[in-house]
Chain A
Amino acid sequence: MPYIPHTPDDVQAMLAAIGAERIEDLFDEIPEHLKAGRLDALPEGLSEMEVTALMARRASQDAGALCFLGAGAYEHHIPAAVWEIATRGEFYTAYTPYQAEASQGTLQTIYEFQTLMARLTGMDVSNASVYDGASGLSEAVLMALRANRKSKSGRVLMPQAVNPRYRQAVQDICVNQGVELVSVSLDRDSGTTLPAALSAHEGEDYAALVIAQPNFFGCLEDVHALTDWAHARGMLVIAVVNPTALALLTPPGEWGTEGADIVVGEGQPLGVPLSSGGPYFGFMCCKQKHVRQMPGRIIGRTVDLEGRPGFTLTLQAREQHIRRSKATSNICTNQGLAMTAATIYMSLLGPEGLENVAAHCHANTRDLVAALTALDGVSEAFTAPTFHEAVLRLPRPAAEVLPALAARGIIGGYDLGRDDPALADCVLVCATETRTAEDISAYAAALAAVLAEEAA
């Protein structure tokens, strides 16, 4: 019996202790007509060897293409030590650290993670992580509505420059709580959110302004001007940031005069593999004064009976197991393993290593843009400076070009026409530190061939 240890003798001894004859007797409180049938649609069990072989076949079926996709998930080199340590049984098979004395490993790791994220974002405090960047943004929006007591409208300004998948998830998660997301238009020349677009919302009551840096199109926003605009009008500022970029870019805590109030983002670039979209983790930081409005698990440092330092769950009265219907969120987990991996990753890279990764991402993407825009009919769509993604305008619809590239083993980027018909000939490309000059040449050659074929 897979993973079940009992011998026939064990079973007999256990039944005897219970005073039952058969295991089936233990289900005698369940009405007979409710008992399940044969479950015919389930296959027979296989051995570990057979399932491993089956899954290895399927995994290799999907592998091999050269990937220039970003759009919210980024391929980075992950040091070998990261997952060797994170999947140690002591981390991998522990539960939520409710028994603090027997969970100091997990608890101290989270405290270190909180510290790392606060330092990277320039904020006062961090939680232990939430599910992912998109759901993290929805939590940030709900948090801003609680924290900005002066605003009564339930409305939040959400620029079109924010990842459309994030905007959709926020809409879907917050829709039943009376939240209204008001769109701020994108400047189609620069690819950023301009103060002129905000002026259309002058004089209205909003709880917060969301600012993405870099934005979905890879472009860098003038975060200082946007932050000061929002603060001058009584709004909170929610920053959505890429953590790798923060090695180079102004941390949200230093945006404008006062800094952002809440910072969220997708933590995946910090040592978590692409893995089809998860498990990733969302990070969430804020100013000290808003900490009681922050959802999710938070670890504090304290002392034990003998005065030795130790770590424990704190501020639990915000959480569902105590506050029930009045909790800040129904969330009861963090993405512990992914967050542990990120803690190890940041420690291994250090300040200079992370900066070098960010610099290579930026430089490689600029090289990619240069190589591709050298082709006839291919141009950069926006004028704003970028971090490690850029939008290219093609002479053909992206929906035609990308499958043709895929057939040549190149996953060429994200088709922006999926979300915005006006950008149907645009593709969002990314080259992280893992893409080489040869990779970039291969993409350019494949694109040249595809465009030549289509032109013919």
Chain B
Amino acid sequence: MSTPDTRDDLLIFERSHAGRRAMAQAPKALPAERLAAIPDSLRRRARPALPEVSELQVVRHYTNLSSKNFAIDKQFYPLGSCTMKYNPRGANRAAMLPGFLGRHPLAPESHSQGYLACLYELQEFLKEVTGMKGVSLTPMAGAQGEFAGVAMIRAYHEARNDQGRTEILIPEAAHGTNPATAVMCGYTVREVPVNRDGDVDLEALKAACGPQTAGLMMTNPSTCGVFERQIDAIAKTVHEAGGLLYYDGANLNAILGKVRPGDMGFDVIHMNLHKTFATPHGGGGPGAGPVGVSERLKPFLPTPIVGRDGDRYRWLDRNDLPQSIGQLSAFMGNAGVLLRAYFYARVLGREGMIRVGEYSTLAANYLLKRLEAVGCTAAYPERRASHEFLLTFAKEAKTLGVSAMDIAKRLLDYNQHAPTTYFPLLVPECFLIEPTETETKEALDAFVDAMAAILAEAKNDPELLKGAPWSQPVRRLDDVKAARELDLVWRE
């Protein structure tokens, strides 16, 4: 039974025809005797059912699929805490240079000096811009950076034989990875409440701190989109209790070049290079989550790290760092992402880094004021926005019956990607909006116009919102069916 190939909603498997080959792609078949050394009992009985399609079919299929995505290259993409800034094409080209792509991860140092030089300099840049004393580039994502950071906190206490520190403190507005990470490192989690103005409840923190405190994980500016003003007092409280301070770098873009986590008293941080250093998100990865540490945590950094002897660069491994928390991947992490971040850092330079914090903050405060002027409700109206801010649609939900989700879906019809919704959970019906420094004023104004139009629709024709989106390849999807009747793999 053949299916018309022109339909754009087919799976690649539905385009397959037995015997069709993309001939140019693979070497010719070998005589069977060349495989005689492999015992029959270990041979596959039937070929895997990969699609049998032509090169053009593949190119057309995935090109058409790509067009069903929203992307920074196509739309304004103001996802809060995700820093969807422009991903420079120059960075991609530089990282895809044949010399970099072809280098084997275990190639000898004699054949790696160019690559190592880039990484060494990136380590130095990240140290300077965060105010930390040591950096390891190896964690492959923010979550792995978090893991490395908390594991170092644990290794530090253990190395001092400081027993009984079993608990990690986490503000209630924190990203879900923070508690998940603490548990992976063998800790229990205690949540610390957040005040009505978005700052941590300092009295509650003081009460929670004690000899059981291993550390506090926090994001500053916080996930509420405001700068934590009591950071000095928080650092003092945790340090006096013998705990260490972990900085979740999710919002580093807000303060890049303006405030350094090291100067705020943080002992360990992770950075999300796919946010702050403009490497691509790639539909959900790969990212990179380097960690930076204060002097006392340097011995525990994950390996490998790039060191320098005179004008030669070399890998530092466990032999150099015997107290290291060790190896988080087979090799040294997402090298290609690190090269893209290196490109970005070199193009920006000192002045450019400082401007990131300044202009991302300018864009967020401008967008907040304009949205308030068209009737949106700020969650923290008395506060400055950082590089992002929170709106709440609790009023609209109550009086008009439209949810933040309805508004988010309607935004897609206006060709605007929705902001982060329903995070953090402590603000009902919220949007977390992060415009970034790379969007023009016109792009910000267009988003305001879309929101104004949607708020009017919410009053006059709420069904337009509840049924949205109307303009996408699919309408709202049945997530309950997806979870109850799991269909994770195509079966003919």
* Contact yes or no, B84 A304, CB < 8 A: no
Of B9-17, B237-245, B396-404, the one touching chain A = B9-17
- Chain B: CB-nearest residue to A99: B418
Q: Is B189 an interface residue (CB 8 A)?
A: yes
How far is it, in angstroms, between the C-alpha of A355 and the C-alpha of B34 when the chains are bound?
A: 13
Of B204-212, B364-372, B450-458, the one touching chain A = B364-372
Q: A42-B125, A298-B488 are in contact. Are A331 and B73 (CB under 8 A)?
A: no
Q: Which residues from 360 to 394 on chain A have a C-beta closer than 8 Å to any C-beta of chain B?
A: 360, 362-363, 366, 385-387
- A residues in contact with B140, CB < 8 Å: 131-132, 135, 278-279
* Contact yes or no, B25 A348, CB < 8 A: yes
* Contact yes or no, B487 A38, CB < 8 A: no
How far is it, in angstroms, between the C-alpha of A45 and the C-alpha of B369 when the chains are bound?
A: 32
Q: A297-B284, A324-B176 are in contact. Are A101 and B476 (CB under 8 A)?
A: yes
Q: Is B90 an interface residue (CB 8 A)?
A: yes
> 7 nearest interchain CB pairs?
A45-B349, A277-B331, A59-B99, A89-B73, A172-B326, A58-B114, A277-B105
* Contact yes or no, A3 B438, CB < 8 A: yes
Q: A277-B335, A278-B332, A303-B478 are in contact. Are A29 and B226 (CB under 8 A)?
A: yes
- Chain A: CB-nearest residue to B437: A4
Q: A6-B440, A324-B179 are in contact. Are A17 and B102 (CB under 8 A)?
A: no
How far is it, in angstroms, between the C-alpha of A31 and the C-alpha of B73 when the chains are bound?
A: 37
* Contact yes or no, A351 B49, CB < 8 A: yes
- A residues in contact with B478, CB < 8 Å: 302-305
* Contact yes or no, B283 A95, CB < 8 A: yes
In this complex, the interface size class of chain A, counting residues with CB under 8 Å from chain B, is: 35 or more
How far is it, in angstroms, between the C-alpha of A57 and the C-alpha of B115 when the chains are bound?
A: 10
- B residues in contact with A57, CB < 8 Å: 114
How far is it, in angstroms, between the C-alpha of A1 and the C-alpha of B71 when the chains are bound?
A: 23
Most chain B beta-carbon neighbours within 10 Å: one of A93, A104, A302: A93
* Contact yes or no, A102 B108, CB < 8 A: no
- Chain A: CB-nearest residue to B352: A45
* Contact yes or no, A26 B361, CB < 8 A: yes
- A residues in contact with B215, CB < 8 Å: none
Q: Is B296 an interface residue (CB 8 A)?
A: no
Q: Is B417 an interface residue (CB 8 A)?
A: yes
Shortest CB-to-CB span from A413 to chain B, Å, is 9
Q: Is B336 an interface residue (CB 8 A)?
A: yes
- B residues in contact with A36, CB < 8 Å: 131, 257-260, 263, 354
* Contact yes or no, B69 A106, CB < 8 A: yes
Q: With A350-B52, A363-B30 given, can you name 18 additional A-B contacts, CB distance below 8 Å?
A: A23-B359, A30-B255, A42-B345, A44-B349, A55-B100, A56-B97, A62-B100, A96-B284, A102-B412, A104-B68, A169-B326, A176-B184, A276-B103, A302-B487, A308-B474, A314-B483, A317-B483, A327-B183
Q: A135-B329, A246-B48, A329-B184 are in contact. Are A75 and B102 (CB under 8 A)?
A: yes
- A residues in contact with B179, CB < 8 Å: 320, 324-325
* Contact yes or no, A29 B383, CB < 8 A: yes
Q: Mark B308-320, 1 if CB is under 8 A from A, else 0.
A: 0000000000000
Q: Is A119 an interface residue (CB 8 A)?
A: yes
Shortest CB-to-CB span from A211 to chain B, Å, is 12
Q: Which residues from 413 to 445 on chain A have a C-beta closer than 8 Å to any C-beta of chain B?
A: 414, 433
Shortest CB-to-CB span from B173 to chain A, Å, is 12
How far is it, in angstroms, between the C-alpha of A20 and the C-alpha of B365 when the chains are bound?
A: 10
Shortest CB-to-CB span from B271 to chain A, Å, is 15
Q: Which residues from 364 to 417 on chain B have a C-beta closer than 8 Å to any C-beta of chain A?
A: 365-366, 369-370, 383-384, 408-409, 412, 417
* Contact yes or no, B21 A353, CB < 8 A: yes
* Contact yes or no, B331 A165, CB < 8 A: yes
Q: Is B298 an interface residue (CB 8 A)?
A: no
* Contact yes or no, B365 A26, CB < 8 A: yes
Shortest CB-to-CB span from B297 to chain A, Å, is 16
Q: Is A116 an interface residue (CB 8 A)?
A: yes
- Chain B: CB-nearest residue to A303: B478
Q: Mark A132-166, 1 if CB is under 8 A from B, else 0.
A: 11110000000000000000000000000001011
* Contact yes or no, A61 B99, CB < 8 A: yes
How far is it, in angstroms, between the C-alpha of A385 and the C-alpha of B441 when the chains are bound?
A: 65
Shortest CB-to-CB span from B76 to chain A, Å, is 12
Q: Is B104 an interface residue (CB 8 A)?
A: yes
